[in-house]
Amino acid sequence: MGDVGEGTTTDIVAAEPRISAFDIKAFITRNLRLQPAPIVPHIVLYTGHAGSRLSRLGGMDPDAPAPYWAYDWAGGTSLARHITDHPEIVRGRRVLDLGAGSGIVAIAAAKSGATEVIAADTDANAVVAIDLNASANAVSITALHADLLLREPPTVDVILVGDLFYEESLAIRVLDFLTNCHDAGIEVLIGDPFRAPLPEEKLRLVAEYPAPDFGETAGTPGRRAGIFTLS
């Protein structure tokens, strides 16, 4: 890095505009670590760390989405483990990973024999990360930048959802969409560490796994996370 001279803090911040979409792929491969995922070590993911400087992806944009896709979340990690342990859930079927983040659940589905896997997220940077993570795991996934909650039920057999019940208003939208999909004959599986907005009264618990969650430091005991279907 070159000398910044006598510039003020404001000058330094202004010199780091938001990274262009063309450079997101290079940024991820240079600044994140490709490492095994917790409790599913056969899956490797580009993962954020203290030196990643992920704030550069948003630059000066106050509305830039947080890079949630760059970290481990208990619900998605546990759902990926559940799919790995029970590949018959997805084998020979068309699968949608809704709110895919890093794509860990989609990758688990592809590795477990799904015939088609779509990973959808509203964060364009997550979609780039999904493509990179899929390549790193030698699987084929269609990464889709879209808010599918605004659409009709997709043409898939199974919808997998990790960690989308973290905020009340979003949880309501997700449940409405998944209910419509379930009514249309689509199987739904949800991974979540029992967060407050999770509508447990409308779900059936089918399995539990200990897994580290977003914001927890490395080496901490795994948080209890559940796998649910719609009741």
CATH number at residue 170: 3.40.50.150
Same-domain status, 88 and 57:
no
pLDDT of residue 22: 54
Please check whether residue 69 is in contact with residue 152, taking contact to mean a CB–CB distance below 8 angstroms: no
Q: Considering the entire predicted model, what is its pTM?
A: 0.88
pLDDT of residue 139: 98
pLDDT of residue 13: 32
In a domain, 127, yes or no: yes
Q: List 226's β-bridge partners, or say none.
A: 192, 208
pLDDT of residue 6: 34
Same-domain status, 125 and 46:
no
**Cβ of 69: how many Cβ atoms within 10 Å?**
29
In a domain, 64, yes or no: yes
pLDDT of residue 56: 81
Same-domain status, 165 and 208:
yes
Same-domain status, 88 and 144:
yes
In a domain, 33, yes or no: yes
pLDDT of residue 1: 34
Q: How far apart are CA 61 and CA 17, in angstroms?
A: 9
Same-domain status, 107 and 125:
yes
pLDDT of residue 11: 30
**Cβ of 222: how many Cβ atoms within 10 Å?**
17
What spatial distance separates the first Cα and last Cα of the chain, rounded to whole Å?
A: 56
Same-domain status, 139 and 157:
yes
Q: How far apart are CA 74 and CA 191, in angstroms?
A: 8
In a domain, 198, yes or no: yes
In a domain, 3, yes or no: no
Same-domain status, 43 and 82:
no
Range of the domain at 98: 72-230
pLDDT of residue 27: 92
For the chain of 231 residues, list the mean pLDDT of each consecutive stretch of 10. Answer: 33 42 84 95 95 77 82 96 98 98 98 98 95 98 96 97 96 97 98 97 97 74 90 86
pLDDT of residue 8: 30
pLDDT of residue 231: 86
CA neighbor of 124 nearest in space, from 139, 108, 144, 153: 144
In a domain, 199, yes or no: yes
